Amino acid sequence: MSRLRSAMHKGKRAGGEVVETALPKRKKSKAAVKQASEFTAVGMHPALPNLILQAHVLEESTDASTPSPYHTFPDPADVVQFRSQLLNWYNKEKRELQWRTLAVTESDINIRTYAVWVSEIMLQQTQVATVKDYYNRWMKRWPTVQDLAAATLEEVNQLWAGLGYYSRGRRLHEGAQKVASELKGQMPQTVDTLLKQLPGVGRYTAAAIGSIAQGLVTGAVDGNVTRVLCRLRAIGADSTSPAVTEALWNLANMLVDPERPGDFNQAMMELGARVCTPKGPLCSQCPVQSHCHSYRKVHVRQEQNSKKLLGKLGRKTSELPDIEDCMNSGTCPLCPSEPWDDELGVQNFPRKPPKKPPRVERTLTCVVTRPGDKDEENFLLIQRPNKGLLAGLWEFPSLLLEEENSEKNQKRALCDEISRILGVHLTESLLQYVGEVVHIFSHIHQTYVVYSVCLKESDTHTHTENTQWLTRSALQEAAVSTGLKKIVKLYDSVDSLKEKNTKDGRRQKDSGIMENKKPQISKKHKLGAANSSGRQLSLNSFFKTVKEECR
């Protein structure tokens, strides 16, 4: 595999390779000296340059952009040792994953880059275990960027259904079409062009694709790497602050192994995912423990505390050892602003700003059904807009509940919307309450208030675009969200009551529309609770075909 060198790196670093790093202190001093001598040359008072020089030096020692050596790796020998310890561990411990295999076995740089790009996008906010199957299906269906470009967005959404954060699939598709049409099928081959030319690719993703697929020498900082680096170098300020972000990227660029940048970055991520975990890190199994400031700090603190205790008991204690610490503590933009908490241990790092509470929303939704062929129930689906939350996915007719508007008014509005789509007149009394479903998005706490209505076939010709009737089996394959699947599960969970209702012969008809298909439920039915028979529905029964009275 060809190993390219990134053009983005400037400046020398440990080991002789070239990286982009913060300007070293010594360089600034030379610049100050040069400036001072220039002042002398133009006839300035000899004392003035010295004062200016002193001012420069003073400024340097508190310069926030130059981190204290405590937060970096000032000794090149440490860097070399760190790389070797980490990569030896990775050689033995790495998980075999399809995208890793493709990154080393695929000889075509375009396919390799595409394969890693897909994996990196899928892995954003999704666990490896979940991604595996999706990735394999995706690569089987669209093995090259051209194959993906030729697919429809509907097909992409369909395959992506259930993976969440649906805009990711859409952006991959958009990017593939751009590569196929504007870049003649050639994937971008620098970190900068990956970043600029591929939609949905940010600083981390560009660096990961570049290093893993193309051998570009660049560090890559994701959530796992942030945690590892913050603990290694005791960086405890808000990990999302600009000062910490830059310090972490500088560290990653300095540490990355120039011979195996992709493996090095994956090893850092693997270490964060499996050893240096957010909770309960396995420090005793850590290959780079000897470089870890937070690990050392925990042990020094323990020793200090036990000595203090002995002192209290009247034993003579020797001087407590100094805890190695940041020289700039107090003004340092990387040091924690909160005091060390012994109970947290290494988990004192990293520190994040408090999370914003998710937005609370309630949405009215209605499962509209009609009888289909062979007694199979059909569902009315509407496509969401191509932008925003769950873009392009199919959902049941829905309406966001506005606080100032009563639920009754909103129900009427939803009824009007369904009437408009189908060209029939429905009154809100026909909508039968089913229950509520809670679905948590990253930033929204969504509650779906679910109703249902069953229509006669003659009333079910759709009159608007982006609507369709789907059989239950087609619904299972369609590009729908996890929230919709939960709604179907709730809808199905009243099966036993529906059957009972049918036997009791309580079917009702009103103006040709078959209403009250769902039985009355005495209290709000919430998804997640056992159903009426007390059993929890299995996933297999999720989309089971129901043959019911709706015909």
Q: Does 229 bind Zn ion (CB under 5 A)?
A: no
Q: Does 294 bind ligand SF4 (CB under 6 A)?
A: yes
Q: CB within 8 A of 528, min separation 6: which ones?
A: 438
Which range in 57-65, 74-82, 292-300, 397-405 contacts ligand SF4 by CB under 6 A? 292-300
Find which of Zn ion, ligand SF4, none residue 295 binds, CB within 5 to 8 Å per kind.
ligand SF4
Which range in 2-10, 61-69, 243-251, 360-368 contacts Zn ion by CB under 5 A? 61-69
Cβ burial, residue 267 (10 Å; 0-12/13-18/19+)? buried
Report the alpha-carbon distance of residue 94 to residue 317 in Å, rounded: 46
**Which residues from 417-456 bind Zn ion, rule CB under 5 A?**
none
Q: What is the DSSP string of 207-227?
A: HHHHHHHH--------HHHHH
| Of the residues 145, 180, 216, 228, which one makes contact with ligand SF4 according to CB under 6 A | 228
Q: What is the identity of the amino acid at 65? A: S
Find which of Zn ion, ligand SF4, none residue 455 binds, CB within 5 to 8 Å per kind.
none
Number of residues that bind Zn ion (CB under 5 A): 5
Pairing of strands 444-454, 508-510: unpaired
Report the alpha-carbon distance of residue 389 to residue 387 in Å, rounded: 7
Give residue for tokens 């939704």: 365
Q: Does 251 bind Zn ion (CB under 5 A)?
A: no
How many residues make up the chain in this entry?
Answer: 551
**Which residues from 299-358 bind Zn ion, rule CB under 5 A?**
326, 332, 334-335
Report the alpha-carbon distance of residue 80 to residue 82 in Å, rounded: 5
* Catalytic center residues: 120
Nearest approach, Cβ of residue 319 and ligand SF4 (Å): 26
Report the alpha-carbon distance of residue 256 to residue 226 in Å, rounded: 14
Q: Does 346 bind ligand SF4 (CB under 6 A)?
A: yes
| Nearer to ligand SF4 (CB atom), residue 231 or residue 384 | 231
Which range in 111-119, 144-152, 291-299, 485-493 contacts ligand SF4 by CB under 6 A? 291-299
Nearest approach, Cβ of residue 84 and ligand SF4 (Å): 16
Number of residues that bind ligand SF4 (CB under 6 A): 14
8 Å CB contact between 455 and 434: no
Q: CB within 8 A of 475, min separation 6: which ones?
A: 379, 381, 488, 543
Give residue for tokens 């060198």: 5
What are the structure tokens assigned to 380, written together?
């009315």
Q: Does 275 bind ligand SF4 (CB under 6 A)?
A: yes
Q: Does 350 bind ligand SF4 (CB under 6 A)?
A: no
| Nearer to ligand SF4 (CB atom), residue 87 or residue 292 | 292
What are the structure tokens assigned to 322, written together?
């100094």
Nearest approach, Cβ of residue 238 and Zn ion (Å): 13
Say how many CA atoms lie within 13 Å of 351 toward its Cβ: 20
Nearest approach, Cβ of residue 294 and ligand SF4 (Å): 5
Binding site for ligand SF4 (CB under 6 A): 228, 231-232, 275-276, 281, 283, 286, 288-289, 292, 294-295, 346
Binding-site ranges for Zn ion (CB under 5 A): 68, 326, 332, 334-335
